[in-house]
Amino acid sequence: MDYLIAFIGATLAGVINTLAGNGSAITLTILTEVLGMPGNLANGTNRLGVASQSIGASWAFYKHGKIDWQNSWLLLATTTFGAIIGAWVAISVSNEQFKTVFSYLMVFMLFVLLVKPERWLRETDVNFKPSLWLIIPAYLALGFYGGFIQMGMGIFFLAVMVLGARYSLLDANVVKSLMVAIYTILAILLFQGKGLIDWKIGGLMAVGQMIGGWATAHYGASSPKVNIWAHRLLVVIVIAAVIKLFGWHELLF
């Protein structure tokens, strides 16, 4: 039953991560609360599913001609560098200190999503060139956070890309999948070096997440309403994260 829960939860996380983010809230909860893993082992094991889902989604986006290599290299290089540093820190210290900060960041993100939602539904502005003095530190910070804990990284990344770099939600998700695939593979090497990956359960969840990521990218890439549904999913995920992080679900149930 534990393995069935892990597989179904991982598949759902793959769907959520491909169009929105924070699917790791599901997989990390399963690993720690259902399977009883220590935090650092769960953090490392979770990277297998993150990598597989991102590879599956990136492949589907590539087959649909959605990946723009020429305009993505700076982002990929910068976030990967930040992620290596973040993963190195993660294998040395506990990530519990970030939970309080993460909770309030989710509340802030909910306001960002609900105020002027039309900003999230526009198409990519190919003529807009963001300031490198602002965007490179943002990329580094995103990479560090993704390398450190991953949970919620997709939401923050979409905010930077859509509101800061003026990408559409679909195009931002394309870049996100490719970026996460690259830096997570490197993070896996660091976690494995410290013995912080359970390959048996991680492999099972990786299959589920790859299925969810590939299927969502395959059908989402050709859907004319993908930006609308991605925004709605983002709102739902952030609301759920806020309820869970502040313990309000215990009052509801």
Ramachandran class of 151: left when φ > 0, alpha when ψ lies in -120 to 50, beta otherwise: beta
Q: Looking at residue 74, what is its pLDDT?
A: 85
Q: Which pTM value belongs to this model?
A: 0.79
For residue 71, the SS3 value is: coil
Convert the pLDDT of each residue in 1-57 to its tens digit. Answer: 888 989 998 998 888 888 777 788 788 888 887 888 887 888 899 999 999 999 998
What is the block-wise mean pLDDT of the chain (253 residues), using blocks of 10 residues?
A: 89 84 80 84 91 91 83 86 88 63 70 73 76 86 85 82 85 88 91 92 94 86 71 77 73 66
Task: Report which residue type is found at 103.
Answer: S
**CB–CB of 138/160 below 8 Å?**
yes
Q: Looking at residue 202, what is its pLDDT?
A: 94
By CB neighbour count within 10 A (0-12 exposed, 13-18 middle, 19+ buried), where does 80 fall? buried
* Domain residue spans of the chain: 2-252
CA separation for the pair 137, 89 (Å, rounded): 18
Task: Report which residue type is found at 141.
Answer: A
